[in-house]
Structure 1
Amino acid sequence: MPLEKRSLTLEQHQTSVALEPEFWAELEAWADRDGRSVTSVIEEIDRTRPESERLASTLRVAVLERLKQRSDG
Protein backbone atom coordinates (compact mmCIF):
# COMPACT_ATOMS: atom_id res chain seq x y z
CA MET A 1 0.00 0.00 0.00
CA PRO A 2 1.59 3.31 -1.07
CA LEU A 3 2.11 6.05 1.47
CA GLU A 4 0.79 9.55 0.92
CA LYS A 5 3.23 12.25 2.00
CA ARG A 6 1.93 15.64 3.13
CA SER A 7 3.78 18.76 4.22
CA LEU A 8 2.59 20.52 7.37
CA THR A 9 3.59 23.40 9.58
CA LEU A 10 3.41 22.33 13.23
CA GLU A 11 4.21 24.87 15.93
CA GLN A 12 5.88 27.06 13.27
CA HIS A 13 8.10 24.20 12.03
CA GLN A 14 7.79 22.72 8.55
CA THR A 15 7.63 18.93 8.48
CA SER A 16 6.26 16.17 6.32
CA VAL A 17 4.41 13.01 7.27
CA ALA A 18 3.85 9.90 5.19
CA LEU A 19 0.78 7.81 6.04
CA GLU A 20 -1.48 5.37 4.29
CA PRO A 21 -4.46 7.10 2.60
CA GLU A 22 -6.83 5.39 5.05
CA PHE A 23 -5.14 7.10 7.99
CA TRP A 24 -5.31 10.49 6.26
CA ALA A 25 -9.02 9.88 5.63
CA GLU A 26 -9.60 9.13 9.31
CA LEU A 27 -7.64 12.22 10.39
CA GLU A 28 -9.76 14.30 8.01
CA ALA A 29 -12.97 12.77 9.40
CA TRP A 30 -11.73 13.44 12.95
CA ALA A 31 -11.07 17.07 12.08
CA ASP A 32 -14.47 17.41 10.38
CA ARG A 33 -16.31 15.94 13.37
CA ASP A 34 -14.50 18.34 15.70
CA GLY A 35 -14.90 21.35 13.40
CA ARG A 36 -11.14 21.78 13.13
CA SER A 37 -8.37 21.52 10.58
CA VAL A 38 -6.34 18.36 10.10
CA THR A 39 -3.26 20.34 11.12
CA SER A 40 -4.93 21.34 14.38
CA VAL A 41 -5.71 17.70 15.18
CA ILE A 42 -2.15 16.66 14.35
CA GLU A 43 -0.71 19.47 16.49
CA GLU A 44 -2.76 18.26 19.45
CA ILE A 45 -1.55 14.68 18.95
CA ASP A 46 2.04 15.87 18.44
CA ARG A 47 2.08 17.70 21.79
CA THR A 48 1.71 14.38 23.64
CA ARG A 49 4.28 12.52 21.55
CA PRO A 50 7.42 11.27 23.26
CA GLU A 51 10.44 12.86 21.61
CA SER A 52 11.85 9.48 20.62
CA GLU A 53 8.68 8.41 18.79
CA ARG A 54 8.07 9.12 15.13
CA LEU A 55 5.13 11.39 14.33
CA ALA A 56 3.68 8.98 11.76
CA SER A 57 3.60 6.16 14.31
CA THR A 58 2.00 8.43 16.91
CA LEU A 59 -0.68 9.47 14.42
CA ARG A 60 -1.50 5.88 13.48
CA VAL A 61 -1.89 4.90 17.13
CA ALA A 62 -4.01 7.98 17.89
CA VAL A 63 -6.34 7.18 14.98
CA LEU A 64 -6.67 3.57 16.09
CA GLU A 65 -7.38 4.62 19.69
CA ARG A 66 -10.01 7.12 18.53
CA LEU A 67 -11.72 4.48 16.36
CA LYS A 68 -11.68 2.04 19.26
CA GLN A 69 -13.25 4.62 21.60
CA ARG A 70 -15.98 5.32 19.07
CA SER A 71 -16.74 1.63 18.60
CA ASP A 72 -16.75 1.00 22.37
CA GLY A 73 -18.86 4.04 23.15
Structure 2
Amino acid sequence: MPALRKRSVLLSGHATSIALEPEFWAVLEEMARARSTSLAGLIGRIDAQRGERALASACRVAALKYAQEPTAPGAGPGR
Protein backbone atom coordinates (compact mmCIF):
# COMPACT_ATOMS: atom_id res chain seq x y z
CA MET A 1 0.00 0.00 0.00
CA PRO A 2 1.44 3.40 -0.95
CA ALA A 3 2.36 5.79 1.80
CA LEU A 4 0.08 8.70 2.49
CA ARG A 5 1.19 12.04 1.14
CA LYS A 6 0.46 15.01 3.37
CA ARG A 7 -0.28 18.49 2.01
CA SER A 8 -1.13 21.71 3.76
CA VAL A 9 -3.93 23.94 2.50
CA LEU A 10 -5.47 27.18 3.69
CA LEU A 11 -9.22 26.83 4.32
CA SER A 12 -11.19 29.86 5.48
CA GLY A 13 -7.96 31.48 6.62
CA HIS A 14 -6.81 28.47 8.65
CA ALA A 15 -3.99 26.12 7.70
CA THR A 16 -4.88 22.44 7.74
CA SER A 17 -3.13 19.29 6.58
CA ILE A 18 -4.67 16.49 4.58
CA ALA A 19 -3.05 13.07 4.18
CA LEU A 20 -4.14 11.08 1.12
CA GLU A 21 -2.74 8.36 -1.08
CA PRO A 22 -0.87 9.69 -4.15
CA GLU A 23 -3.54 8.26 -6.46
CA PHE A 24 -6.21 10.44 -4.82
CA TRP A 25 -4.01 13.54 -5.06
CA ALA A 26 -3.55 12.83 -8.79
CA VAL A 27 -7.32 12.68 -9.36
CA LEU A 28 -7.92 15.83 -7.28
CA GLU A 29 -5.27 17.67 -9.32
CA GLU A 30 -6.99 16.47 -12.52
CA MET A 31 -10.35 17.68 -11.15
CA ALA A 32 -8.91 21.10 -10.35
CA ARG A 33 -7.45 21.43 -13.87
CA ALA A 34 -10.73 20.33 -15.47
CA ARG A 35 -12.61 22.92 -13.41
CA SER A 36 -10.06 25.68 -14.00
CA THR A 37 -9.38 26.15 -10.31
CA SER A 38 -6.51 25.63 -7.93
CA LEU A 39 -6.18 22.51 -5.81
CA ALA A 40 -6.78 24.66 -2.71
CA GLY A 41 -9.91 26.12 -4.31
CA LEU A 42 -11.22 22.65 -5.12
CA ILE A 43 -10.53 21.40 -1.59
CA GLY A 44 -12.25 24.51 -0.24
CA ARG A 45 -15.39 23.58 -2.21
CA ILE A 46 -15.21 19.99 -1.00
CA ASP A 47 -14.80 21.28 2.57
CA ALA A 48 -17.85 23.53 2.28
CA GLN A 49 -20.02 20.61 1.13
CA ARG A 50 -18.70 17.77 3.31
CA GLY A 51 -21.13 18.00 6.22
CA GLU A 52 -19.99 15.80 9.12
CA ARG A 53 -17.62 13.72 6.99
CA ALA A 54 -13.88 14.05 7.68
CA LEU A 55 -12.12 16.24 5.11
CA ALA A 56 -9.77 13.47 3.91
CA SER A 57 -12.75 11.13 3.45
CA ALA A 58 -14.70 13.83 1.62
CA CYS A 59 -11.73 14.35 -0.72
CA ARG A 60 -11.51 10.61 -1.43
CA VAL A 61 -15.25 10.41 -2.15
CA ALA A 62 -15.10 13.47 -4.44
CA ALA A 63 -12.14 11.97 -6.32
CA LEU A 64 -13.91 8.63 -6.68
CA LYS A 65 -17.11 10.25 -7.97
CA TYR A 66 -15.12 12.31 -10.45
CA ALA A 67 -13.20 9.26 -11.68
CA GLN A 68 -16.48 7.43 -12.23
CA GLU A 69 -18.01 10.22 -14.33
CA PRO A 70 -18.27 9.15 -17.96
CA THR A 71 -16.84 12.53 -19.07
CA ALA A 72 -13.77 12.36 -16.81
CA PRO A 73 -10.47 12.21 -18.74
CA GLY A 74 -9.45 8.58 -19.07
CA ALA A 75 -12.88 7.29 -18.03
CA GLY A 76 -14.25 4.31 -19.79
CA PRO A 77 -14.50 0.54 -19.70
CA GLY A 78 -10.76 0.00 -19.32
CA ARG A 79 -10.37 2.30 -16.35
- TM-score in terms of structure 1 length: 0.88
Q: Which aligned pairs between 1:1-73 and structure 2 lie closer than 5 A?
A: 1-51=2-52, 53-70=53-70, 71=75
Deviant stretches of 4+, over 2 Å: none
Give the AA of the match of 2:47. Answer: D
Across the two proteins, how many residue pairs are aligned to each other? 71
- Paired with 2:13 and 2:47, the residues of 1 have a C-alpha distance of 13
Q: Percent identity?
A: 45
Q: Unpaired segments of 5 or more residues in structure 2?
A: none
Q: CA RMSD in A?
A: 1.3
Partner deviation per Cα, 1:17-59 (whole Å, 9 max, x = no partner): 00000111111111111111000011111101113x2100010
The structure with the largest alpha-carbon Rg is: 2
Name the SS of the counterpart of 1:41 in structure 2.
Answer: helix
- Paired with 1:36 and 1:46, the residues of 2 have a C-alpha distance of 15
Q: Unpaired segments of 5 or more residues in structure 1?
A: none
Give the AA of the match of 1:9. Answer: L
